Amino acid sequence: MRPVVPDKGGKDTYPYDRNSDLKKTFWTFKTGTNARKYFKKAAVPIADCLAVMVEIAKYNQNQLGVLTATEQAEIDAKLTCADGITNKIDVYRQATAPLMDNLGSFCSFCEIPVLSDFDVEHVAPKSQYPSYSILWENLLISCKPCNQGGAKGENPTRSFVVSDWLNDVEPTDESGYYDEIRKRHYIWPDRDQIAYRAMIPRLGFHDGTGWQLIPEATSIDTRQTYYVSIMSKREVYANIFVSAKAKKTERKRVIVILTAEDTAGFTSSVAATEMIDLCRLNTWRTGDSPKFDRRMVFRTKTWFTALGQLRTLRNAQANSPAEFDDAWTAMLDVASTAGFYSVWVRVFDLGADTDPNGKLYVARFVEDTDDAGRFPNTRTSKVP
Ligand SMILES: [Zn+2]
């Protein structure tokens, strides 16, 4: 997972969390204070308040009786259908453009490119924690398989937080839940500098009975090549060396899994496992069309794309510095199109090559991709 700078950019063009009153308002409503009375005091536009109230109402559907007919009409005009308050107004979707400027066109969790359609992801789910439903700090980018259905979805729920983490003691307001989710559990790309180190991608293959990891040095042997993927079954095949001693490549079903690591601190592997489970980063959703979730297919393919680029770079470097520069620039474009930043960093890190000026490929990759058109705002202190 690529760690990112949390507050850089974006915030200035996303209006809602400037109004700290709104955050308090959510909780006030949730606990039953008169809505109109509060909003008369709030120093925020009425349109914003109404939008917020719709979000509140989704959580707590008995608060809107205090609205005037005019206000109700204003809400209705914002709704996309006529089926009332249970429909969503999605004010948070105004975060779409600044989020993409800030984070690039990649899922914040699985790192797959999201080129056309993506979810504005509520880290603490909006249905459970409405105080945070429009706050910039609670927003990331997600692909649909990470966010929907059996994956992250509405998790972690309030009841889960209370029963599993807090010994059945409810927090007094939503910040208590939020702090558990954001500060004490999971690995988050915008909060945890160790996001990359805590979840390392590794190449494995299926030996007929189960998945086996390939030794790291062997996994980046550039004589290995991608063969084919079968999307309907979500299978990827490649020509690989299955062990360090293998004399020739074999055609095997392969996979790149994320392993939860302890190297970044004694609790990091626990938090990483929580994150992997939350978004199902190492598995596929059950009960859906098998074509739906292609995250692991593309992550695995990208490993071999990176190997091919590494092979090209080495050959170009053996020829001339000019040829290397061309190959390097082309590689940057390939990488930013393919996504899966962690895979690229891992392959270059294990390769340990240095460029004609003696700089490690991996260091140069991290530096050269940290721009608006590639992988913007990477937090590089713990990468690799
Ligand atoms: Zn994703």
| Domain boundaries defined on the chain | 11-184, 193-384
Q: What are phi and psi of 133, to 5 degrees?
A: -70, -20
Distance (Å) from CA 50 to ligand 1 centroid: 32
Distance (Å) from CA 310 to ligand 1 centroid: 25
Q: How confident is the model over 126-148, as a mean pLDDT?
A: 83
Distance (Å) from CA 123 to ligand 1 centroid: 13
What digits encode the pLDDT tens for the residues 302-335? 999 999 999 999 999 999 999 999 999 999 999 9
DSSP label of 170 = P
CB-side neighbour CA atoms (13 Å) of 50:
17
Q: How confident is the model over 255-276, as a mean pLDDT?
A: 89
pLDDT at 86 over 50: no
Q: How confident is the model at residue 62 (pLDDT cuts 50, 70, 90)?
A: very low
| Beta-bridge partners for 203 | 256
pLDDT at 65 over 80: no
Q: How confident is the model at residue 43 (pLDDT cuts 50, 70, 90)?
A: very low
pLDDT reported for residue 38: 44
Distance (Å) from CA 1 to ligand 1 centroid: 10
Distance (Å) from CA 220 to ligand 1 centroid: 25
Kindly state the tokens that stand for 121.
């992801």
pLDDT at 67 over 60: no
Distance (Å) from CA 281 to ligand 1 centroid: 8
CA separation for the pair 365, 360 (Å, rounded) = 9
The more confident residue out of 145 and 30 is 145
Q: How confident is the model over 340-362, as a mean pLDDT?
A: 98
Distance (Å) from CA 111 to ligand 1 centroid: 6
What digits encode the pLDDT tens for the residues 200-254? 999 999 999 999 999 999 999 999 999 999 888 889 999 999 999 999 999 999 9
Distance (Å) from CA 112 to ligand 1 centroid: 6
Q: How confident is the model at residue 129 (pLDDT cuts 50, 70, 90)?
A: confident
- % of the chain residues with pLDDT over 70: 75
Distance (Å) from CA 217 to ligand 1 centroid: 28
Distance (Å) from CA 289 to ligand 1 centroid: 17
Distance (Å) from CA 84 to ligand 1 centroid: 31
Distance (Å) from CA 144 to ligand 1 centroid: 7
Q: Helix, strand, coil shares of the chain as percentages rounded to 5?
A: 45, 10, 40
Q: Which residues have CB under 8 Å from 203's CB, separation 6+?
A: 213, 214, 219, 240, 254, 255, 256, 300, 303
Q: How confident is the model over 66-85, as a mean pLDDT?
A: 50
What digits encode the pLDDT tens for the residues 163-214? 999 999 988 877 899 999 999 999 999 999 999 999 999 999 999 999 999 9
What digits encode the pLDDT tens for the residues 333-350? 999 999 999 999 999 999
CA 38 to chain centre: 36
Distance (Å) from CA 120 to ligand 1 centroid: 12
pTM of the model as a whole: 0.85
Distance (Å) from CA 151 to ligand 1 centroid: 10
Distance (Å) from CA 263 to ligand 1 centroid: 24
pLDDT reported for residue 37: 46
